[in-house]
Amino acid sequence: MPKRSGDGAGEVGAELDDVFHALSDPTRRRVVERLSQGPATTSELAGPFDMALPSFTQHLRVLERAGLVTSEKQGRVRTYRLAPEPLDRVDTWLAGRRALWTRRLDQLDALLYDLKEQQK
Is residue 93 a contact residue for its own copies (CB under 8 A)? yes
| Residues 105, 110: Cα–Cα separation, whole Å | 9
Which range of residues in 46-54, 72-80, 87-95, 109-117 is near its own copies by CB under 8 A?
87-95
- For its own copies, the binding residues in 24-43 under the rule CB under 8 A are 24-26, 29, 32-33, 36-38
| Residues 1, 88: Cα–Cα separation, whole Å | 23
Q: Burial of 66 by CB count in 10 Å (0-12 exposed, 13-18 middle, 19+ buried)?
A: buried
Cα–chain center distance at 102: 23
Is residue 83 a contact residue for its own copies (CB under 8 A)? no
Please select the residue that binds its own copies; options are 98, 106, 112, 114, rule is CB under 8 A: 98
DSSP secondary structure letter of residue 53: H
Cβ nearer to its own copies, comparing 6 with 26: 26
3-state helix vs strand vs coil in the chain, percent to 5:
65, 10, 20
Is residue 1 a contact residue for its own copies (CB under 8 A)? yes
Residue 3's Cβ-side half-sphere holds a number of Cα atoms within 13 Å equal to 1
Cβ nearer to its own copies, comparing 38 with 75: 38
Where on the chain is the footprint of its own copies (CB under 8 A)?
1-2, 13-14, 16-18, 20-21, 23-26, 29, 32-33, 36-38, 82, 84, 87, 90-91, 93-94, 96-98, 100-101, 104
